[in-house]
Amino acid sequence: MNKLISVVLSTFNESKYINETLKSILEQTYDNFEIVIIDDGSTDNTIEIIQKYNNTGKIRLYSQIHSGNVGKNLNEAIKLSKGEVVAIMGADDLWESNKLKSQMTYLNKYKCVCSNAVVINENGEKISDQFYYSLSKTTELNLLMLLSNNEVISSSVLAFKSQIIECGGFDEEYGNKAEDYFLWLNVVKRYTILYVHDFLVRYRKHDKNLSSKSIKDKEDLFLRAISIRKKYLNGNSSISTSAKEGIVREYSRLINMYRNLHDYQKAAKYCKSGIKYIHNKYSFKYFKYLCFLFISEIYLLLKGKE
């Protein structure tokens, strides 16, 4: 299969990483691809760095006024793409050289393929050996699995363009808050996403992504992921159970974030919200939530009397 692949990116002030990112794409062993970039009003020299690769004949760059809507930018790049197959790429992430070639072998059977990833820091140094792990070579992801835990790394996704468009594309309403999660859930309603456990991506955590977003931005992101899952609550079905598991997972992240900040009032607030969605009222998790809520309330009570 030698179909044209359109690699789509949204960039904004990525001068520190875009050179290395583009190199990792251009060094792919699968050669039939183009790179479609929507630059979202960069004020640094991101565009100049991208233009240095004009001689490759593979890059099409479109500039616009800054919107901050990553979902909309990626959708626009997909619309402008010429390939039958689309690969999503983060402007600061890296690919292994065999990434595209390896995943294309699976597109005979599947409409959408993603992979495992190594987490790296801003200097390209490994933070953890893997993102997700399984003893099997591949896993077929379905709606229940993604509602419980989003295992799709956007920079690892390879999919048919027609299927992405059919499934509504990236979320544009919020644009930069779980815009990809919205799409993957829509995909698995119609198709199976194949998760390949090879480490084909190096996913970068640094000073511009979630690890250093403001507390409010992190809170909004977690709440958006909760809001998406709440749409799947419908009684006692397996879908509802998986959605509840995912909701509790996001509330746990909120609780841990505010507990680490010693903001026990906010932590207790989200503990009260999250405990309602724990499916098994006799589980260790439910007991753990109750204990934390009790300790937080006592702490706040005593603090109020100081």
- Cα Rg, the chain, nearest whole Å: 21
Residue 122: pLDDT band with limits 50, 70, 90? confident
Of 204, 226, 241, the domain-final residue: 204
Instruction: For the beta carbon of residue 31, count every other beta carbon within 10 angstroms.
Output: 11
Q: 221 and 125: one domain?
A: no
**Full residue range of the structural domain in which residue 254 is found:** 213-304
Spatial separation of the C-alpha atoms in residues 83 and 21, rounded to whole Å: 20
The CATH number given to whatever domain includes residue 39 is 3.90.550.10
Report the SS3 class of residue 43.
Answer: coil
135 is written with which tokens? 């003893």
Global pTM reads 0.89
Report the SS3 class of residue 15.
Answer: coil
Q: 29 and 145: one domain?
A: yes
Encode pLDDT of 66-103 as tens digits. 999 999 999 999 999 999 999 999 999 999 999 999 99
* Residue 299, C-beta contacts closer than 8 angstroms, at least 6 positions apart: 264
Encode pLDDT of 245-290 as tens digits. 999 999 999 988 998 898 888 888 898 898 889 877 767 777 777 7
The pLDDT value recorded for residue 212 is 44
Q: 44 and 168: one domain?
A: yes
pLDDT at 306 over 60: no
CA atoms within 13 Å, Cβ hemisphere of 83? 28
Q: 20 and 72: one domain?
A: yes
109 is written with which tokens? 């059977």
Spatial CA neighbour of 264 closest among 272, 23, 191, 285? 272
Q: 22 and 165: one domain?
A: yes
* Residue 190, C-beta contacts closer than 8 angstroms, at least 6 positions apart: 163, 166, 167
Q: How distant, in Å, are the alpha carbons of 130, 148, 172 from that of 247?
A: 24, 8, 22
Cβ atoms of 25 and 32 within 8 Å: the answer is: no
Q: 53 and 132: one domain?
A: yes
- Give burial (CB, 10 Å; 0-12/13-18/19+) of 54: exposed
Strands 126-128 and 94-95: unpaired
Backbone angles phi and psi of 62, in degrees to 5: -125, 130
Spatial CA neighbour of 76 closest among 8, 173, 175? 8
Q: 57 and 142: one domain?
A: yes
Spatial CA neighbour of 232 closest among 174, 173, 145? 145
Q: 106 and 50: one domain?
A: yes
Structurally, the chain folds into a number of domains equal to 2
Q: 132 and 85: one domain?
A: yes
Spatial separation of the C-alpha atoms in residues 194 and 6, rounded to whole Å: 19
The pLDDT value recorded for residue 132 is 67
Of 185, 204, 223, the domain-final residue: 204
Spatial separation of the C-alpha atoms in residues 11 and 217, rounded to whole Å: 19
Spatial separation of the C-alpha atoms in residues 83 and 271, rounded to whole Å: 46
Encode pLDDT of 205-235 as tens digits. 865 554 446 788 889 989 999 999 999 998 7
Q: 174 and 289: one domain?
A: no
Of 147, 176, 204, the domain-final residue: 204
Spatial separation of the C-alpha atoms in residues 266 and 288, rounded to whole Å: 17
